[in-house]
């Protein structure tokens, strides 16, 4: 390896420039300095404004003492800022901040305040002992570098604890959703599982299913109230139902993902909602465009019903549509389309013409043909109902939303 390929030499720590005896000369200041820091921090960092007589005060005093003792071991050496023992202590402070529900701002603020008090008192003592202004400058630089290292170690531990917590919550939420999808858990077990998953149970939820390859970034976009699990070929999400605004947002997030959304309901209906979503999606043409909205199963329940027993529906279609069987394909298709539109619009000519994009007279001509073919069946409510089922199964025309 050439000289140019050698890894860069790490910079020497600023405390190497300090006289080796500085630590011993300032160590007697430690008890007084600990009390000064203990007094100053709660006054200027609101999160620590609490009585110092209990366990909190004991832990804080122990941490400050250990940090000062380690710092006073450093002057005139190349030692790292933290020993293994002090590193564990400082990391523990970072983890503790997360467990107490505080941000890192409080601890970092306490470190900065401690550094100010330490420099003020140590520089005063250094001048009293005639160590000179150059030592005071190096002392200030050393304190800042030391505090930077404490801050970095605590912040890393805080972030790790946060990540571990998030991972545990995600695992428990995935277990909760799997339990709901089985559809067999009693209410007490569900409440316990939701509590362990740190999940507030909403009044109603919607179930979303989509191909696994379309699920990238879904958890982040749905927000913390949703639960998302990834299975072998698909992803399933449980989303709190919050009315029209929630629907509009969900539709935006799911656009282009080939998703299907089951009807909203309570936790006991999650498994059923997923089944309906899967069935509705299977009955409709694929929606592959980047802007295509999801399938809302609640708007396609007729298609789901028709899919339940295709052989029976096929036989019904064969019988009810027999009058059209002998017609040429094009004519049969036109009359089937007209008959279904006529049934949906209760025979009103203007809406039929508008929906089909034809003249009202053409509608009249086609309806006359249908009356000749079907006769009195078009007057029978049961026959009309069966005709609509047959035509929907044949043409897979989606039901119009309310």
State pLDDT tens for residues 50-93: 666 666 667 778 888 899 999 999 999 999 999 888 888 888 88
CATH number, domain containing residue 139? 1.10.490.10
- Helix, strand, or coil (residue 205): strand
The residue among 275, 306, 337 that closes a domain is: 306
For residue 160, what pLDDT is reported?
A: 86
Q: Are 293 and 254 in contact (CB under 8 A)?
A: yes
Q: Which residue has the higher pLDDT, 144 or 39?
A: 144
pLDDT at 328 over 80: yes
Buried b (16+ CB within 10 A) or exposed e, 36-51: bbbebbbeebebbeee
Domain-located, residue 192: no
Q: Do 283 and 364 belong to one domain?
A: no
Give residue 69's domain range.
11-164
Joined together, the tokens standing for residue 87 give 């590193």
For residue 399, what pLDDT is reported?
A: 40
Domain-located, residue 142: yes
> 227-230 and 205-211: which strand pairing?
unpaired
Q: Which of 223, 295, 283, 296 has its CA nearest to residue 258?
A: 295
Q: Do 254 and 334 belong to one domain?
A: no
Under DSSP, the state recorded for 10 is: P
For residue 401, what pLDDT is reported?
A: 37
Helix or strand run (H / E) with residue 177: helix 133-182
For residue 303, what pLDDT is reported?
A: 74
Q: Do 145 and 75 belong to one domain?
A: yes
Question: 205: which strand partners?
Answer: 240, 265
Q: Do 286 and 315 belong to one domain?
A: no
H-only helix segments in 72-132: 84-99, 104-128
Q: How far is CA 390 from the centre of its chain?
A: 43
State pLDDT tens for residues 297-312: 988 887 777 776 778 7
Q: What are phi and psi of 25, to 5 degrees?
A: -70, -25
10 Å CB burial of residue 204 (0-12, 13-18, 19+) is: middle
State pLDDT tens for residues 140-193: 999 999 999 999 999 998 888 887 776 777 788 888 888 888 876 677 777 888
CATH number, domain containing residue 357? 1.10.10.2840
Distance CA 214, CA 314 (A): 34
Tell me the mean pLDDT in the region 205-222. Answer: 90
Q: Do 29 and 150 belong to one domain?
A: yes
Tell me the mean pLDDT in the region 206-216. Answer: 91
Domain-located, residue 379: yes
Q: Which residue has the higher pLDDT, 241 or 371?
A: 371
The rounded percent of the chain whose pLDDT value lies above 70 is 92
- Helix, strand, or coil (residue 361): helix
Question: What end-to-end distance do the CA atoms of the chain give, in Å?
Answer: 76
Q: Do 46 and 149 belong to one domain?
A: yes
The residue among 238, 273, 306 that closes a domain is: 306
Q: Which residue has the higher pLDDT, 7 or 398?
A: 7
For residue 1, what pLDDT is reported?
A: 47
Q: Do 129 and 241 belong to one domain?
A: no
Q: Do 32 and 74 belong to one domain?
A: yes
State pLDDT tens for residues 99-148: 888 888 888 988 998 999 999 999 999 998 888 899 999 999 999 999 99
Instruction: Give how many domains the chain has, as a whole number.
Output: 3
């Amino acid at each position: 390896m050439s000289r140019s390929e050698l890894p860069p030499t790490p910079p020497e720590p600023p405390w190497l420039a300090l006289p080796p005896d500085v630590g011993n000369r300032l160590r007697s200041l430690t008890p007084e300095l600990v009390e000064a820091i203990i007094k100053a921090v709660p006054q200027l960092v609101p999160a620590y404004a609490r009585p110092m007589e209990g366990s909190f005060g004991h832990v804080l005093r122990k941490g400050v003492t250990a940090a000062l003792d380690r710092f006073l071991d450093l002057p005139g050496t190349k030692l790292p800022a933290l020993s293994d023992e002090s590193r564990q202590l400082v990391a523990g402070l970072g983890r503790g901040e997360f467990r107490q529900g505080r941000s890192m701002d409080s601890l970092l603020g306490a470190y900065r305040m401690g550094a100010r008090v330490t420099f003020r008192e140590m520089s005063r003592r250094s001048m009293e002992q005639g160590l000179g202004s150059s030592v005071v400058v190096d002392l200030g630089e050393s304190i800042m570098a030391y505090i930077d290292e404490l801050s970095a170690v605590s912040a890393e531990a805080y972030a790790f604890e946060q990540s571990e917590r998030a991972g545990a919550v995600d695992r428990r939420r995935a277990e909760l959703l799997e339990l709901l999808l089985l559809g067999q858990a009693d209410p007490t077990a569900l409440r316990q599982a939701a509590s362990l998953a740190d999940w507030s149970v909403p009044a109603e939820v919607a179930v979303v299913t989509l191909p696994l390859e379309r699920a990238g970034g879904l958890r982040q976009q749905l927000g913390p109230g949703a639960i998302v699990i990834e299975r072998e070929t698909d992803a399933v999400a449980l989303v709190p139902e919050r009315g029209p605004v929630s629907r509009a947002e969900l539709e935006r997030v799911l656009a282009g993902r080939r998703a299907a959304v089951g009807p909203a309901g309570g936790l006991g209906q999650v498994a059923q909602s997923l089944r309906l979503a899967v069935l509705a999606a299977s009955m409709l043409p694929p929606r592959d465009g980047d802007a295509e909205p999801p399938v809302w199963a609640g708007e396609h329940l007729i298609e789901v019903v028709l899919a339940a027993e295709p052989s029976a529906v096929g036989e019904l279609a064969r019988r009810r549509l027999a009058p059209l069987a002998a017609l040429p394909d094009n004519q049969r298709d036109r009359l089937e389309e007209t008959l279904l539109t006529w049934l949906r619009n209760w025979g009103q000519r203007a809406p039929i013409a508008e929906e089909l994009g034809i003249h009202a007279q053409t509608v009249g001509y086609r309806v006359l043909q249908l009356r000749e073919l079907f006769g009195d069946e078009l007057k029978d409510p049961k026959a009309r109902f069966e005709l609509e089922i047959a035509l929907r199964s044949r043409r897979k025309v989606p039901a119009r939303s309310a």
